Amino acid sequence: MRARDRAAVSALRGTLAALDNAEAVPVEAVPSAGALEASPVGAGATEAARRELGEQDVVGIVRAEASERLEAAAQLTAPAHAARAERLRAEAAVLLRFLDSAEDTTEDVTADA
């Protein structure tokens, strides 16, 4: 049970980081101040608004994270790497369960409408 929790935590942390990266604004889009006297003043004045991801974007990122883990596990064929491969498969299973539960919830909502 504890090993499964570690796999879930690892998978969720990695996926949240991937989602956070996907929301980041390209560096070219961040406004830059030229001279010091022309720079914005105040807390958060130089912050750029983050992109908002749609549901399909999030699902795509989660699928990609699960796929990456499964591909990496498939490449770890040496017996010495069996534990790492199993952990990657467990992490992918956690992410795929989240996708399945999200699809079930979406189907329930559309059936009620």
CA distance 97 to 31: 40
Length of the chain: 113
CA distance 19 to 55: 12
To the nearest 10 degrees (0 to 180), the angle between helices 82-112 and 2-23 is 70
Stretch 4-31: mean pLDDT = 85
* pLDDT digit string, tens, across residues 68-88: 999 999 999 899 999 999 999
Residue 40: its pLDDT value, please?
A: 60
Residue 73: its pLDDT value, please?
A: 95
CA distance 111 to 113: 6
- Report pTM: 0.72
The confidence band for 96, taking pLDDT boundaries of 50, 70 and 90, is: very high
